[in-house]
Amino acid sequence: MGPTSSRPSRRKTARPLGRPPAAESAETRERILGAARSCFAELGYASTTNRDIGERAGLTAGAIYHYFDSKDELFGAVTEQVVTRIFSEFDRVLEESSSFVDRVRGLLDIAIELHREDASLARFSTVYPVELLRHKDLADRVPAELWGRGLGFFHQLAQDAADAGELQPDVSPGAVANMLLSITTGLAHFATLDEGLEEHTAAVLVVERLFAGTLVDQRAAAASAP
């Protein structure tokens, strides 16, 4: 759920002079970020205009420049907000649970809560990695500490499980981390297709049962084995 390649050098862009006091309004800035997140997720970076964002935020297109110098700066700010929000919540799982299965169940449950709270979180989380690859200049707008945060989180979760002896000796923690990243990314994408999230929630519960070992009837599986 985040870029994993090496971070390019960042460019510095000067702020325009004469910004009005209203530009410091945290409430308006958050409204712009929310509108931009929704637009980028639905329309894509290239097709989104400041007019689109302004209409959703209840502002003029020109007013956005009092808060963000450019569309790519705004995209970077939205990326930072979304990645920070998601993995700040995920970090709680590492603090509140110790077993591998409980941690996986916890982060999947949190994902459901986040998607129900704001559907644009799931949509944007599946869109921004592709946009960063498609538009190289956008990579300059992503803060250094966010690069690799997603994969780093899952590597820590998998390594903790390995250190605790919860993984089989022949299982690579790196492979487990990649699996978890793939599952969560796939479920996030599925959430964008399920407006009511009922099927998404059901799918998450099945994944939880898979990790808990209660999905497959082992006796029936053994009986049908050749």
User: How much is the pLDDT for 225?
Assistant: 63
- Looking at residue 204, its pLDDT comes to 92
Helix (H, G, I), strand (E, B) or coil at 199: helix
Q: How far is CA 196 from the centre of its chain?
A: 19
The single-letter DSSP state of residue 196 is T
Reported as half-sphere exposure (CB side, CA atoms, 13 A), residue 55 has a value of 6
**Which residues have C-beta within 8 Å of that of residue 217, sequence separation ≥ 6?**
none
As a dihedral over the C-alpha atoms of residue 213, residue 215, residue 219, residue 221, rounded to 10 degrees, the angle is -110
Q: CA distances (Å), 28 to each of 34, 142, 179, in order?
A: 10, 22, 39
How open is the CA angle 213-216-221, to the nearest 5 degrees? 125
Tens digits of per-residue pLDDT, 9-60? 444 444 444 455 544 588 999 999 999 999 999 999 999 999 999 999 999 9
pLDDT over threshold 90, residue 194:
no
Instruction: Quick: pLDDT tens for 101-160.
Output: 999 999 999 988 888 888 888 889 888 888 988 888 888 888 777 878 888 999 999 999
Report pLDDT digits (tens) over 52-105: 999 999 999 999 998 999 999 999 999 999 999 999 999 988 888 889 999 999
Backbone dihedral angles phi then psi of residue 42, each to the nearest 5 degrees? -85, -40
Instruction: Look at residue 145 in the predicted model and tell me its pLDDT.
Output: 77
Look up residue 194 and give its two tokens: 């399920």
Count how many Cα atoms sit within 13 Å of the Cα of residue 165 in the half-sphere of its side chain.
0
pTM (two decimals) = 0.78
pLDDT value of position 5: 39
Comparing 222 with 4, the larger pLDDT belongs to: 222
> Residue 79 and residue 85: Cα distance in Å, rounded?
10
Q: What is the mean pLDDT of residues 204-223?
A: 84
Euclidean distance between CA atoms 183 and 189, whole angstroms: 10
Rounded CA-CA distance 111/201 in Å is 10
Lowest mean pLDDT among 3-12, 69-78, 208-217: 3-12
Q: Is the pLDDT of residue 180 over 60?
A: yes
Q: Which CATH class is domain 70-216?
A: mainly alpha
Q: How long is the chain?
A: 226
Q: At 160, which amino acid appears?
A: D
**Domains of the chain by residue range:** 70-216
How far CA 121 is from CA of 25, 28, 71, 147, 161, in Å, comes to 23, 19, 19, 18, 28
